[in-house]
Amino acid sequence: MSAEGALDERFKAGFRRHAAGVTIVVGETPDGPVGATVSSVASVSADPPLLSFSLTRSGTAGARLVGSTELSVFVLATEQADLAAAYADRRAPRFTAEQGWRREASGLVLPGAVATFRGRPTHVIPAGGSWLVLLLVDDVVLGTPASPLVHHDRAYWTPAPVPETRAQRPLRVVEG
């Protein structure tokens, strides 16, 4: 152990310093829909379209989600911070009309989500106390662009513009 604490505590503290987008992952089960707030979503491949995310193995929602044959990943906007908080709390009500959920032929719909990815889990890999899920995406529905919701240091935030950086300046072509 170092002066800064045990490795597992430093590991968690390091990731609290990493800002990440916020989603709700939803699956259908024989007992009804199940969902969880997930901030570990990442693009894996565009061809074929694959994304990944992780779920804790200690909760009931994760086990029900990895057992689903189809999943939807809803990317949340800043205005949906209360919804993200509800799906991170196992005691909070879920899938209520007040939360905005609608059922359509394609499955559950969350108005206000900036994007929805629908697909099938192709691989569920036990990884420590979590599962790593690879989702083969069958459909993407783009919602209205809005300020993204991010999770950082155990709180929800929205980004603000930064002063112009080199990466934001147009490239200048030099001939010769």
CATH of the domain at 23: 2.30.110.10
Tens of pLDDT, residues 26-45: 999 999 999 999 999 999 99
With respect to residue 3, please indicate whether it lies within any of the assigned structural domains: no
Mean pLDDT on 86-90: 94
Which bin fits 95, alpha (ψ -120 to 50), beta or left (φ > 0)?
A: left
* CB of 84 closer than 8 Å to CB of 115: no
Return the number of other C-beta atoms located less than 10 Å from residue 119's C-beta. 20
With respect to residue 121, please indicate whether it lies within any of the assigned structural domains: yes
Domain of 53 in residue numbering reads as 19-158
With respect to residue 166, please indicate whether it lies within any of the assigned structural domains: no
> What's the token pair of residue 35?
């969902």
Tens of pLDDT, residues 118-166: 999 999 999 999 999 999 999 999 999 999 999 999 999 999 887 777 6
**Between β-strands 71-75 and 115-127, what pairing exists: parallel, antiparallel or unpaired?**
antiparallel
With respect to residue 32, please indicate whether it lies within any of the assigned structural domains: yes
> What's the pLDDT at 175?
72
